Amino acid sequence: MTPYAAPVRDFRFVLEELLEHGSLALPGFEEASPELVEAVLEEAAKLAGDVWAPLNASGDRQGCTRGQDGSVSVPDGFIEAYRAYAEGGWNGIGVSEALGGQGLPEVVASAVQEMLHGANMALGLCPMLTAGAIEALAHHGSDEQKATYLPKLVEGTWTGTMNLTEPQAGSDLSKVRTRAVPQEDGSYRLFGQKIYITWGEHEAAENILHLVLARKPGAPEGNKGISLFLVPKYLVIDADGSLGERNYVTCASIEHKLGIHGSPTCTLSFGENEGAIGYLVGEEGRGLNHMFTMMNEARHKVGVQGIGVAERACQQAFAYALDRVQGRRGGSECTISDHLDVRRMLLSMRARTDALRALALYCAAQLDVARHAEDEGDRRAAQAKVDVLIPVVKAFSTDQAVEIASLGVQVHGGMGFIEETGAAQLLRDARIAPIYEGTNGIQALDLAGRKLQRDGGAALAGLIDEVESTARALRATPELAALGEGLAAGAADLTAALASVLEQGSDPERGADAVQAYATPFLTLAGHVLCAWQMGRAALAATAARQAGSGDPFYAAKVQSADFAIRQWLPVGRAQRAVIEAGMASLAGFEPRSS
Amino acid sequence: MTPYAAPVRDFRFVLEELLEHGSLALPGFEEASPELVEAVLEEAAKLAGDVWAPLNASGDRQGCTRGQDGSVSVPDGFIEAYRAYAEGGWNGIGVSEALGGQGLPEVVASAVQEMLHGANMALGLCPMLTAGAIEALAHHGSDEQKATYLPKLVEGTWTGTMNLTEPQAGSDLSKVRTRAVPQEDGSYRLFGQKIYITWGEHEAAENILHLVLARKPGAPEGNKGISLFLVPKYLVIDADGSLGERNYVTCASIEHKLGIHGSPTCTLSFGENEGAIGYLVGEEGRGLNHMFTMMNEARHKVGVQGIGVAERACQQAFAYALDRVQGRRGGSECTISDHLDVRRMLLSMRARTDALRALALYCAAQLDVARHAEDEGDRRAAQAKVDVLIPVVKAFSTDQAVEIASLGVQVHGGMGFIEETGAAQLLRDARIAPIYEGTNGIQALDLAGRKLQRDGGAALAGLIDEVESTARALRATPELAALGEGLAAGAADLTAALASVLEQGSDPERGADAVQAYATPFLTLAGHVLCAWQMGRAALAATAARQAGSGDPFYAAKVQSADFAIRQWLPVGRAQRAVIEAGMASLAGFEPRSS
C-alpha cells in the first residue's frame, strides 16, 4: 500500500482561502491562531502518516479475533497507535475546554479526522465512537456522570460505544427490546443483545463506556418507551475513575466483514445472568432524542471518513499511474498517467475528493458558527444550513467515496484486484460508510422528507442563492465564464427539483410516499450542485492567487479540478432533475416479487 | 446466500419475443427447435441452481491453495461440479458439430453461460477459458493439432488457459518477453513467466492446454515478433489423447484476490530448467492477431458474466427486501420492499439487469447471423454490428454489474457488509470483470478510437436507426409514448456524440488523443441508449402480450422495468453528451502529480 501523505496543503487552502479562517474569529476560539492551526495540521499529518497509516494494510490482513473468554484482540500495533493518539491529546481537540478538551474549531477537528481515517479507517472508528459518547454525556448526563466519566473519555483513557441496533431493530429503532430493570439504588439492570457494536470490546483502553438504548418494563411501545443508559465495561467505584468489578456485558461474537477488518464489530450481551449494571442518561423515554442530538455530528464524521478513504485512494492511484510503464504516447514509452483515459479517471478521483472535502469543511465551519456565534440569528441561520448539509455530506460523500475507491482499483488494472496492492482494501473499507450511521437512503429521507419540508426549503434556497452568487462571480471572470454557466444551470436544476419535492411533499394524500420516491435522486442532485459550488469558489480563489502572481502549481491544478468538477461531473448530477421530473409511476406500481 | 434460480422466463422472453427465435432459422441450426432450446434452458437452470450455485459461498470462503509441490487445490465440490457440467455435455453446446459440439446458436450458449456465472462465477471461469482455447485451435491450429487436442477440450476432459500477461506486459502485450526456442523436431522450448493465469493449475481435468504468447529468439520487437504456442501440462503422446510426461510448466504462486476466490489465478513458470515443450499455433509472428480473433467472443462472455452476477445480486436483494420487516407503511408493519426508496433500488437493479441481458443476447444473435447467414451481405452487416456492440456489452455490462452488486449490498443494510450474507461476495466477484479481458478503458478506445473511426460510424449509425424506429413505435403506442420521447432523445444524443467523436478522431494533429479523452463517456452513453432501446422493445412486446389478453404479471413487471430504464436510468447516461460537448480542456492540461 502506498504511504499516506496527509493533504495539508489542501486543508490549508480550504481553511485559509475558501473559508478565510472564518471560524477562528468566533468567540471561544481566541487561542486558535492561524499559526496554531497550521501547527496542529502538521502534527496530525505526522501522526496519521507515520504512525497510523503503516498499520492499515497489516490491520486489514490480521483482523480482530475473539478469545474463548470473550476478550477481543485488535491487530498488532493498533493499541500502541491508539495510545500515541490519546497521549498526543488528539482525542480532545474538538472538545470544549470546559470539558477538558482543547476546544479547537470543528473545521480543524474535521481536517484532523479526515487525516486519521485516510490513514487508518478501522482504527479511526474507535475515537469516532468515543466522540459520540462524549457528546451524549456532555449534553444529557448528570453533573455527577460528567464528572465521573468525561475526563477519562476526553483524554482517551476510556473509550465509548453506541449500542443502538438489535437484530429486529436497525433503521427502525422503535423496535428496541433490550430491557432496563430499575434497582432500588437508582441504577438499572440491563438484559438484551446489541449487534454491530463498533469497537464494542478491546483492550486498547482501560475501560469502555457503552451507551445503550433500552426500555424499562412497562414503558410504552415505540420510540417513547426508549431511554438511554450508560453501561461501563468495568464499574467505576470512585469519582476519580478508579475501576471496580467487571460488569455483566460480554462480547458474544465478532463479525466477519467485507472491510474495516481492524475494527472489532461486536455482538454484545447484556446481563446474561444478573443483568448489566447501567445508569439512566438524560430523561426517561427520551433515549432516541438524546441519540439524535449527536447523530448529526456523527453523520458529518462518517462523511469525512469517506473523504479520507477517497483521498487515500487518490494518492494510491496517482502513485501507481505515475510509476507503471505501459504503452506509448507520442512515439515513446510512457507511464499510464499519460494515457488520457487514465488521466480522466485520476482527475475524476481528484476533483471529486477536492469537492467533497470543501463541502464537508464548509459544513463544519457552519457548525462552528451555529455553536459559537455571538448573535442568535447567526447561530440559527448556520444551524439551518447545517441541518440541510449534514445528510448531503454523509450520503453524497460516502456514495462518492465508494465510486472513487472503485475507480482507484480500476486505475491499477489487474493489480487492483490483488489484495496486496491495497487498492481493493480501500474499496472494501469504504463500502460500509453508505450503510452505517443511518443508511444513505435514510439520509435522503431526512433531507427531502424532513429538513426541506419543515422549513419549506428556506435553508436550501439560501444555499442556492450563494451558489448563484458564485456562478455570477465565475461568469464575471473571463477564463472561468464557462464554469459559471455550468454552475448556474446546476443551481437552476436544484431550484426546480426543490420546488418539485416541496410540491410533492405537500400533497396531503401521498406526500410522504412521493417524497420517499424522489429522495435519493434529490440528494444526489443537491450533492453535485453544492460540490460544484465549492469548486467554483476554489476556481475563483486559485485564479485570484495566480493573477496575484503565484506560480504555485497547486493553483493551476485546483483550477483543472474545478473545471472537471463543473463541466465533466456536474452534468451527471444534473440528470437527476430529469429523473425527478419524469415521475415515479414505475415505482408506485412496482410490486417486488421473488424470482 | 440466497439460492439461485436461473431466470429462464426472462431468457425465453428475450429469445422468443424480442429476438423472435431469429437465430434458429439460420442454416446449421436445423435441430435447434424452440422445444429443444426450451429444454436446454431448463436443464441448464437445474445444473446452475442445484449443482453450481450451492458451492458459490463455500468456494469463496475456502478459496484455492497451492501445495509445496506446485499443485493447486480448488474448493471442495468444485471438481465434481465441473465434471457434472462436462459429463452433461455442456462444454460443447456452442461449439460446432464439426468439432464435436452440439452447435447450438450463440444466443442459447450465452444464456447458459449467464446461468453458470450467476450460479458460480469462479467456477464458470474454467470453461470460459477452455472455450477460448477451443476457438484458438479451431481457427488457427493445424489439422493434426485439431485432431489431437480439440475432442478432449470440447468434451471438457481437458481445460484450456490463456497466457498473455507478464509483469511488464499487461494492456500492452507488445512487451511480451517469454522466449520460444525452436527445436530440431519442429517443437519449441518456452522460457518465461506469465501472470494472472485463470485456472492455470488445478486437478479438475486430466490435462491443461496452455495457449501462450511468446517470442522466438531474434524475432522483431513489438507485436510482430509475437507468436502463439500451445503448451500442454502433460505431453500428449498419441493422437488418441494418451498422456505422457509432465511438461516443464509449473505454478509458482497463486494470487490473493478481492474476489473469485474459487478460481485459481496462477503465476506460471515456463521452463525453469529445460524449457517447456510447446508447439506453434498458426502463423509465426501472428500470435497477437490470433488472440484477437477470439477476443471478441471472450469479451462478450465477460459481459455476460457480469450480467449473471447482477442477476444473482437482484435475486438476493429481492429475497432479503421481501423478508426483512422494518418500519411501517400505511400504518402497519412492513417489509423493507414496501419502502419506496428500497423499491427504487430494487427496480433499478432489476431494470438494468433486464436491459443488459437483452442487449447481450441481441449481440449474440448478431454473432449467429455473422457466422451462419446464407447471404454474405447479411453476415457482414451483422459482423459490423457485433464489432461495435462487443466493447459495449463487455464494458457497460461489467461497470453496471459492479454498481448493481453494490446496490445489492446497500439493500441489505448492515447485513450487506457481513460476509456470511453473500451480497458482499457478489460485489467482490463482480469487481474483476471491468478489469480483465481488456480493461473497460481499453474497450472504450476499441469502440471510439478504432471501430467507429474505421467505418466512419456507419454500423453504429445503423443501430441508432433501429433505436429511432423503436422510439417511433413507442410513440405510436399511447401508453408508451413517454418512453418513445425519452428513447428518441437518447438516440439524438448518441447521434450528436458520434458526430463529435468522429470529428475529433479525424483531426490529423490530435485525433487519437482527443478520442481517448472522450472514449469512456461515449461508451457509457452508447450503453445507456442501446440498453434503453432493448427495454423499449421489451415494453412493446410486453404491452402487445397484455393487449392480446395475457394476465401474466411478468409482462406488467417488464413494462415497469422498461419505464424505469428509459425514464429514470437513461437520463443519467444522456448526461454524457454534455460531458463530451463540454470538451476536455481540463484533461489535456492536467499533469498528474504525486502528493
B2/chain A closest Cα distance in angstroms: 11
Residue B171 to residue A571, Cβ atoms within 8 A: no
- Annotated catalytic residue, options A17, A114, A437, A468: A437
How many degrees, rounded to 5, is the angle at CA B531 between CA B529 and CA B534? 110
Of A456, A437, A352, A455, the residue nearest A390 (C-alpha): A437
Band (B236; pLDDT cuts 50, 70, 90): very high
Residues of B in contact with A256 (CB under 8 A): 418-420
Residue type, A415: M
Residue B314 to residue A595, Cβ atoms within 8 A: yes
Cell matching residue A147: 464528572
What pLDDT is attached to residue A193? 98
What pLDDT is attached to residue B75? 98
Question: With an 8 Å Cβ cutoff, is B549 touching chain A?
Answer: no
- Give one DSSP letter per residue of B178-237, joined into a string: -EEEE-TTS-EEEEEEEEEEET-S-SSSSEEEEEEEEE-TTPPSSGGGEEEEEEESEEE-
Question: With an 8 Å Cβ cutoff, is B53 touching chain A?
Answer: no
Q: How many residues does chain A have?
A: 595
What pLDDT is attached to residue A511? 66
pLDDT (mean) for B127-141: 96
ipTM value, please give it.
Answer: 0.97
Does residue B296 carry a pLDDT above 90?
no
C-alpha–C-alpha distance, residues B91 and B127, integer Å: 7
pLDDT digits 0-9 by tens, B302-318:
999 999 999 999 999 99
Q: How many residues does chain B have?
A: 595
Question: With an 8 Å Cβ cutoff, is A424 touching chain B?
Answer: yes
Residue A257 to residue B419, Cβ atoms within 8 A: yes
What pLDDT is attached to residue B595? 59
How many degrees, rounded to 5, is the angle at CA A201 between CA A196 and CA A202? 135
Mean pLDDT of chain B: 95
When CB atoms are compared, the residue of A434, A556, A586 closest to B564 is A586
C-alpha–C-alpha distance, residues A84 and A86, integer Å: 6
C-alpha–C-alpha distance, residues B455 and B346, integer Å: 39
Residue A341 to residue B444, Cβ atoms within 8 A: yes
Range 563-582 of B in CB contact (< 8 A) with A: 563-564, 567-568, 571-572, 574-576, 578-579, 582
What pLDDT is attached to residue A206? 97
Does residue B293 carry a pLDDT above 80?
no
Q: Which of B586, B593, B594 is best to mutate for the A interface (most A CBs within 10 A)?
A: B586
What pLDDT is attached to residue B511? 67
Cell matching residue A522: 434529490
Question: With an 8 Å Cβ cutoff, is B513 touching chain A?
Answer: yes
Residues of A in contact with B339 (CB under 8 A): 441, 516
Cell matching residue A562: 474545478
Residue B579 to residue A563, Cβ atoms within 8 A: no
C-alpha–C-alpha distance, residues A288 and A136, integer Å: 11
Query: Both ends of chain B: CA-CA distance in Å?
Result: 42
Whether the Cβ atoms of residue B453 and residue B394 lie closer than 8 Å to each other: no
Range 17-36 of B in CB contact (< 8 A) with A: none
What pLDDT is attached to residue A323? 97
Kindly give the residue spans of alpha helices, DSSP state H, lying in A243-339: 287-323
- Show the low-confidence residues of chain A (pLDDT under 50): none
- Annotated catalytic residue, options B437, B479, B509, B581: B437
What pLDDT is attached to residue A595? 58
Task: Tell me the angle at which helices B106-140 and B423-430 cross, rounded to the nearest 10 degrees.
Answer: 40
Residue B520 to residue A341, Cβ atoms within 8 A: yes
Band (B182; pLDDT cuts 50, 70, 90): very high
C-alpha–C-alpha distance, residues B230 and A336, integer Å: 31
Residues of B in contact with A414 (CB under 8 A): 165, 170, 195-196, 435-436
Phi, psi of A230 (to 5 degrees): -105, 125
A575/chain B closest Cα distance in angstroms: 5
Residue type, B317: A
C-alpha–C-alpha distance, residues B15 and B93, integer Å: 17
CB count within 10 Å of CB A520 equals 25
CA atoms lying within 13 Å on the CB side of residue B424: 23
β-strand A72-73 against A243-246: which pairing, if any? unpaired
Active site residue B201: no
Whether the Cβ atoms of residue A196 and residue A438 lie closer than 8 Å to each other: no
B550: phi > 0 → left, psi -120 to 50 → alpha, else beta; which? beta
